[in-house]
Chains A and B, each alone.
Chain A
Amino acid sequence: MTTMLRPPLLRLESVTKRFGAVEAVVDFDLELHTHEVVALVGDNAAGKSTVARMIAGEYQPDAGRLLLDGQPLALTSAADAFRHGIATVFQNLALAENLDVTANIFLGREVKEGGRLLAEQYMERKAREYLDRLNAKITSPRTPLSELSAGQRQCVAIARTLVGEPRIIVLDEPTSSLSVTQTAEVLSYVQALRDLGLGVLIISHSLNDVLAVSDRIEVIRHGRNNGSFETASTRYEQVLSAITGATRYDRSARP
């Protein structure tokens, strides 16, 4: 939902990122509001992941800037972004196979009791709470990760971002190589995040999936903006032709 009075939760203003002679992202704009799912779509190597990594604090833009609540922000690292309420789930999920659900959710951010001992019961209770918020189909927060399906793992990775009470969640290809049942579960988690009032940026190849859950779709082509669509009034073919470059995007026509 667009609210015209408040500044957007997150705004990318003419950001550019180069790797040597390669222009990965050029003069790129993006806005994300609370209670909103924005999909970033584009071909392979269009610059989707570079945008995600700039928002996640892993890359710093060479030109342009990020604004959080209208305030300019220079993120120095992923940890810095996390402190500012921006959490990212990358495609590889970075979960530990040998640990259980709770340990994975609190991995690297363990809560301690009296400074030394792990607050196991507290973390288990919180883990259950995060899973419930997402309506997760995981029987116990003590289930070993190795027993979970790909969809359930995605859920653990998303639940993990909730530990820092973030305001923005970036999901990189959350439904790639999932079965229909698992896709259904992950898309439900995305809707749950939106209902929690978060701003969600979802990066995906699957147009069917992003059209299903997003409020708005931003197309990136050769690192540049090539279309912005309100999902509810958009046809599949319109987005497809923006991705392939069959239609060009006139930025001056933007509201």
Chain B
Amino acid sequence: MTAGSQSALREANAARIIEAIQRFGSLTQVELSEATRLSPATVSTIVKQLLEAGAIETRTTTRSGRRAQLVTLAHSRGLVAGVHVSPRSLRLAIADTSFTVLAEQFLPLRPEHRFDTTLDRVALLIVEQVEQLGSTLEEVLGIGVALPAPVHPQTGEIAVPGIMRGWEDVDLQETLEARLQRPVQFDNDANLAALAETRFGAGRGTDSVLYIRASYGVGAGLVVGGEILRGPRGTAGEIGHVLADPLGQICICGSRGCLDTVVGAQALVEALRVSRGSITLADLLRLASEGDPGSRQVITDAGGLIGTHVANLAVAADPSIIVIGGELAATEDLLLEPIRAAVSRRVLLGGDNPIQVVRAELGAQAEVRGALAAAADLSPISGGVR
């Protein structure tokens, strides 16, 4: 074997080891050898090299009651935690200060879950995940939390009543900070997803992005000059609550005919009740991907109406790019084409340099990645890292 092929093999083995550590968060050397199917001797040699290069760290912890040497990716500059609370689930990621995700967790939640139970679970999950990385809470520089409701920038409370029942009239930031004794930042999910797409996703290289989150409801996040536009009450970008149907239903926010009452998950699945019975948004998306005509029609029509409002907002805000995310974006052109068509009909958005409408790149990770970025911004050490 030549020297060249040997070093190529070493690199490939090192990559396998890094990949395994990323997948499982932290592993003992014995587990690393099992997971990569490399010999214990090879693992030991490569771990030593990666340690010297500063790519990984070893930490002492206990596994099954015994002391064990854990191998994790290097995070000596600290950790950040990102949480995405949805109507039916929560997603958590722990990352180092360069936003490499070290541990991830997903927990389904019940309908109308309440802030006390859910924040309790968030706190326990963070503690357990950080411990599994061989770290302590003191190493957590900040925690970002994305919520499916506007958050008042000053009070840290949900800004609009009715949207997230069971979470209102409480200082969420104070509740979680009291539990974990670490700095916490709550923000709207569309805002944080917009931030993530701007820094790490489809909006890279620009600093004014209009992000649309088409999910259980429709939300928008506007990044202007690299900063999230929140507004003094935290409700900037709430396009789910613009007027879409003057004679429509009363929305959970109290207004009549909000966009969400026409294209929110509830309205979309309701449209299929006759042909499909009681289904969920996930069922609708699966049916559409399987080619069900009714489901595809419902999503296309939603795209057309969302497109009209996105185009109006784009005319007013003049972003560099429009990024479409949220669960509905998984249907790709089914949703995006009608939005593009609506945007292209506005003369101001066309011209020599027409505005691009693209699919979000970070998928279901966008909100959590944005929450990680917000968490890092809380800390003076990592605040400059972008």
Contacts and interface: CB of A to CB of B under 8 A. Distances in A.
A complexed with B:
yes
Interface residues of A, number: 32
Given A139-B27, A215-B280, A191 B108 contact: yes
B278 A1 contact: yes
Contacts of B107: 180, 183-184, 187-188, 212
B92 to A, nearest CB: 9
A183 B35 CA distance: 23
Q: Dominant SS at the A interface? A: helix
Contacts of A187: 107-108
A139 B27 CA distance: 9
Interface string B99-117: 0000001111111110001
A19 interface: no
A127 to B, nearest CB: 13
Contact of A1 (B106, B111, B277): B277
B55 interface: no
A233 interface: yes
Interface stretch (B122-130, B133-141, B196-204): B122-130
A183 B278 CA distance: 27
Contact of A234 (B31, B105, B111, B124): B111
A121 interface: no
Q: Dominant SS at the B interface? A: mixed
B245 interface: no
Interface string B243-269: 000000000000000000000000000
A210 to B, nearest CB: 8
B34 A188 contact: no
Contact of A230 (B108, B132, B278): B278
B34 A213 contact: no
A1 B279 contact: yes
Interface stretch (A47-55, A62-70, A75-83, A141-149): A141-149
A92 interface: no
A180 B124 contact: yes
B117 A208 contact: yes
Contact of B112 (A4, A147, A230, A236): A236
A212 B88 contact: yes
Given A137-B24, A139-B24, A208-B117, A184 B278 contact: no
B229 to A, nearest CB: 33
Top 3 A-B residue pairs of the complex, sorted by shortest distance between their CB atoms: A211-B110, A140-B34, A184-B107
Interface of B: 20, 24, 27, 31, 34-35, 63-64, 88-89, 105-113, 117, 121, 124-125, 128-129, 132, 276-280, 283
26 contacts: A1-B278, A2-B278, A4-B277, A140-B31, A140-B34, A140-B35, A143-B31, A147-B63, A147-B64, A179-B128, A181-B132, A184-B106, A187-B108, A208-B110, A211-B110, A212-B107, A212-B110, A213-B108, A215-B280, A230-B278, A232-B111, A232-B280, A233-B111, A235-B111, A235-B112, A236-B110
